[in-house]
Amino acid sequence: MSVSLDGKIAVITGAASGIGLAATEKLLELGATVVLADRNAEALEALTARLGPKAIAQVTDLLDAESCGALIPEILAKVPHIDILYCNAGTYIGGDLTETTPEAIDRMLGLNVNAVMKNVHAVVPHMIGRKTGDIIVTCSIAGHFPTYWEPVYSGSKWAITSFVQGMRRQMIPHGVRVGQVSPGPVVSALLADWPEENLRKAKESGSLIDPEEVADAVAYMLTRKRQVTIRDMIVLPTNFDRV
């Protein structure tokens, strides 16, 4: 049985494109107010104009410590409370470890791991005080098995799986649900780093899913009765046969 999101206030990071934008549109459709957090101010301005008054822009650079730290306080200055935090922003590094750089590794861990932990750390006291809330994080199928062709990305997502499932247990006594959605390859800007031949083969074989499929999974998780927690939802292309 699903419950309504009318009156709920959601925060979505990485909301200007891809899964974040699809989730924004889905939650707005279900009646929520959505704060779109992204570093792309120009895109946010255009999107909030298109999506209407229940879409609120929040310009934040999660890789900037000061900007990241100000995310939750700045949002709570715009809205009365936060019911949902969807930590979706992330980046991708594929290929062998020797093919990347220390700078790229720092950037990936900063966005995929550190920013998520910081954002959750910032919102938890607010949700504990209200004795309710939902926290969802975009993980990946790469966080569930050793993807040897993308060890840096996979490592970041294994870290997030551990963090999310640990936090889920911590938050049970406080009425705060915590879970993750773990997609396979999604048609998004993140795949720009994929080798062109791999991307071509994936498209031709139907081994990619659209962001809207992930957004639907997130909506399902959020619309369960409070007595139900979806701890992880794995969403794969039917023809994805590498796991």
**pLDDT number for residue 214:** 96
Which entry of 86, 92, 148, 153 is annotated as an active-site residue? Answer: 153
Q: What is the DSSP string of 79-130?
A: SS--SEEEE-------S-GGGS-HHHHHHHHIIIIIHHHHHHHHHHHHHHHH
b or e along 8-44 (b: 16 or more beta carbons within 10 Å of the residue's beta carbon)? bbbbbbbbbbbbbbbbbbbbbebebbbbbbbbbeebb
The answer to whether residue 198 sits within a structural domain is: yes
| pLDDT tens digit sequence for 38-63 | 999 999 999 999 999 999 999 999 99
Domain interval for residue 183: 9-235
**pLDDT number for residue 190:** 59
The answer to whether residue 3 sits within a structural domain is: no
The answer to whether residue 1 sits within a structural domain is: no
Strand partners, 136: 86, 179
The answer to whether residue 243 sits within a structural domain is: no
**pLDDT number for residue 94:** 85
| pLDDT tens digit sequence for 179-193 | 999 998 887 765 666
Residue 220 annotated as catalytic = no
The answer to whether residue 47 sits within a structural domain is: yes
Residue 73 is part of a domain; what is its CATH number?
3.40.50.720
The answer to whether residue 165 sits within a structural domain is: yes
The answer to whether residue 39 sits within a structural domain is: yes
The answer to whether residue 196 sits within a structural domain is: yes
How many domains does the structure of the chain reveal?
1
* pLDDT beneath 50: ranges in the chain: none
